Amino acid sequence: MRRPIVAGNWKMHGTRADNARLIEELLAGHPGRAAAECLVFPPFVYLQDVARLLREAPIGLGAQSVCAEAQGAFTGEVSAAMLKDVGCSHVLVGHSERRWLYHEDDPLVARKFAAAQAKSLVPILCVGEHLEERESGRTEQVVARQLDVVLDLCGVGALESAVIAYEPIWAIGTGRTATPQQAQAVHAFIRERIAERDAKIAEATRVLYGGSVKASNAAELFAQPDVDGGLVGGASLNAEEFLAILAACGSR
9 is a site residue for ligand PGA (CB under 6 A):
yes
64 is a site residue for ligand PGA (CB under 6 A):
no
Nearest to 13 by CA among 229, 218, 242: 242
Contact string (CB under 6 A) for ligand PGA, positions 81-100, x = contact: --------------------
233 is a site residue for ligand PGA (CB under 6 A):
yes
The CA distance from 56 to 50, in Å, is: 12
Q: Which of residues 108-147 bind ligand PGA (CB under 6 A)?
A: none
The least CB distance from residue 143 to ligand PGA, in Å, is: 16
Q: Which of residues 159-218 bind ligand PGA (CB under 6 A)?
A: 167, 172-173, 210-213
Among 59, 232, 243, 244, binds ligand PGA (CB under 6 A): 232
Count of chain residues binding ligand PGA (CB under 6 A):
13
- Residue in 95, 129, 133, 241 annotated catalytic: 95
Query: Could you confirm whether 95 is annotated as catalytic?
Result: yes
**Residue at shortest CB range from ligand PGA:** 233
Which of the ranges 20-28, 99-107, 181-189, 232-240 carries the binding residues for ligand PGA, by CB under 6 A?
A: 232-240
Residue length of the chain: 252
Residue 22: φ, ψ to 5°: -60, -45
Query: Could you confirm whether 167 is annotated as catalytic?
Result: yes
- Residue in 104, 129, 133, 167 annotated catalytic: 167
Give the binding site for ligand PGA (CB under 6 A).
Answer: 9, 167, 172-173, 210-213, 231-235
As annotated, the active-site residues are 95, 167
